[in-house]
Amino acid sequence: MNQAEARERFAAARVARLATADGEGRPHLVPVVFAVHGETVYSAVDAKPKRTTRLRRLANVAENPAVSLLVDHYEDDWEALWWVRADGRGRVLDGDEAEASRAIEQLRRRYPQQRVTGAVLAVDVLRWTGWSAAAA
């Protein structure tokens, strides 16, 4: 799968898994909704109930900006399987920044139920990779 196809499949997916690691290298993995603009993937802290507003994913990005996002497609027909990974550098944006405001608009268009209540995570993608059973 070439980078253009990988990016296209990624952008069409509804949910991704975000992998971060703290400064000690301890991994953290969470599902996220997202919007893609150019070579940047945006996700935001939303109003769903959480144990704390000090989210580990944001602290990890502040300590270690290397992140990966993964989307995949599963069917019992294994000929239809595929996955795409976006590797990049994370940045935490304050909700008042112009880039964050644009990202929040994109997220709300994609997910009308999205209610952003905090920071926006921007991942500047350095590499799109993927695999598809159909192409294997």
Here the CATH number for the domain that contains residue 125 is 2.30.110.10
Instruction: Say how far apart CA 41 and CA 88 lie, in whole Å.
Output: 9
* CA pair distance 104, 93, nearest whole angstrom: 11
Mean per-residue pLDDT for 70-88? Answer: 96
Cα–Cα distance between 34 and 15 in angstroms, integer?
7
- Domain containing residue 122: 3-129
Domain annotation covers residue 135: no
Whose structure tokens read 């196809």?
5
Q: Is residue 134 part of a domain?
A: no
Which residue in this structure is represented by tokens 């802290």? 45
- How confident is the model over 94-132, as pLDDT tens digits? 878 899 999 999 999 999 888 776 789 999 999 999 999
**Number of domains, the chain:** 1
- What gap in Å lies between CA 60 and CA 18, rounded to an integer? 11
In a domain, 136, yes or no: no
Q: Is residue 27 part of a domain?
A: yes
pTM above 0.95, yes or no: no
Whether 68 is covered by a domain: the verdict is: yes
Contact criterion met (CB below 8 Å) for 70 and 33? no
Residue 70, beta-bridge partner list: 17, 85
Q: Is residue 60 within a helix (H) or strand (E), and if so which, with residue range?
A: helix 56-63
Q: What would the pLDDT profile of 29-78 be if each residue is shown by its tens digit?
A: 999 999 999 999 999 876 555 555 568 899 999 999 999 999 999 999 99
Whether 46 is covered by a domain: the verdict is yes
Question: What is the reported pLDDT for 119?
Answer: 84
With respect to residue 91, please indicate whether it lies within any of the assigned structural domains: yes
CB distance 16 to 7 below 8 Å:
no
> Is residue 58 one of the residues assigned to a domain?
yes
